[in-house]
Amino acid sequence: MEDIVMDKTILCPSARPKSEDSVVFGIISGTVTEPRVAYLKQPLPITDELIAKASPITPAEIFRTAAPCAIKGCQHFDGNDCRLAMRIIEKLPAIVEELPPCSIRRDCRWWQQEGKAACMRCPQVITDNYNASELAVKVATPTSDYNKSKLNLFQQTYCNKNLHKEKIMSLENVQAFYAKLANDEAFRTHHLS
Ligand code: SF4
């Protein structure tokens, strides 16, 4: 079996929270129907304490996390480029006019590949969004033949809302999360932009 080589110098800005060496660089803000990423002043290692604060929301619903790009180990990589970044540029609208204050920009795969166009769309990208629009699901879905087997898993994980009923982000859960952060002076002072 081919070894999967990670590029530790390039960060995937849409990594799963459990990826090796992952850091939180954004927190989902906005509204349940129009979620937006609030970027942290500096990346934050994921700890059990932070995950506990988010509970019962799962980390991928409330955090944007980055981790070293898995390159060939990723279902979105075509050998040269990140196809996910390309679909985001092609299909999603720009939603901000200025570059978001993002702490991982220098090392971000999407920024290096697509430049400002990726950043103008990035704040609407939520890793696990169980209220995702049809367009968002289409953008997130890998397209290459190589990934067809993985697609079934993807659909089970992301599209079967019934499987995740108890984890669907609710307004109450998000408000409870922000209430916990509001009491965490250190977090607010040092990390929220
Ligand atoms: S695309 Fe831009 S805003 Fe998004 S994570 Fe990369 S550098 Fe940050």
Give the start-to-end residue ranges of the domains of the chain.
7-181
Ligand 1 atom 2: residue of nearest CA: 119
Instruction: Give the residue, 146 or 174, on which the prediction is more confident.
Output: 174
pLDDT digits (tens, 9 = 90+) for 60-76: 989 999 999 999 899 99
The mean pLDDT value for 30-34 works out to 80
pLDDT given at position 32: 73
Ligand 1 atom 1: residue of nearest CA: 119
Distance 162 CA to ligand 1 centre (A): 31
Identify any residues that bridge with 179 across adjacent strands, giving them in sequence order.
none
pLDDT given at position 71: 92
The mean pLDDT value for 36-51 works out to 90
19-24: long-range contacts at Cβ-Cβ below 8 A with a sequence spacing of 24 or more? 19/65, 19/67, 19/68, 19/70, 20/67, 20/68, 21/67, 21/68, 22/46, 22/65, 22/66, 22/67, 23/65, 23/66, 23/67, 23/104, 24/50, 24/63, 24/64, 24/65
Q: Choose which residue among 25, 95, 102, 193 to substitute to test ligand 1 binding: the one with the highest number of ligand atoms within 8 A of its C-beta.
A: 102
pLDDT for 28 beyond 60:
yes
Q: What's the per-residue H, E or C state across 64-89?
A: EEEEEECHHHCCCECCCCEHHHHHHH
pLDDT digits (tens, 9 = 90+) for 98-123: 999 999 999 999 999 999 999 999 99
Ligand 1 atom showing the smallest separation from residue 109 Cα: 6
Whether 111 lines ligand 1, by a CB cut-off of 6 Å, is yes
Distance 9 CA to ligand 1 centre (A): 15
Whether 124 lines ligand 1, by a CB cut-off of 6 Å, is no
The average confidence (pLDDT) of the chain is 79
Whether 118 lines ligand 1, by a CB cut-off of 6 Å, is yes
Distance 115 CA to ligand 1 centre (A): 9
Q: Choose which residue among 24, 63, 108, 127 to substitute to test ligand 1 binding: the one with the highest number of ligand atoms within 8 A of its C-beta.
A: 108
Q: How many residues does the chain have?
A: 193
pLDDT digits (tens, 9 = 90+) for 150-171: 444 444 444 444 334 444 455 5
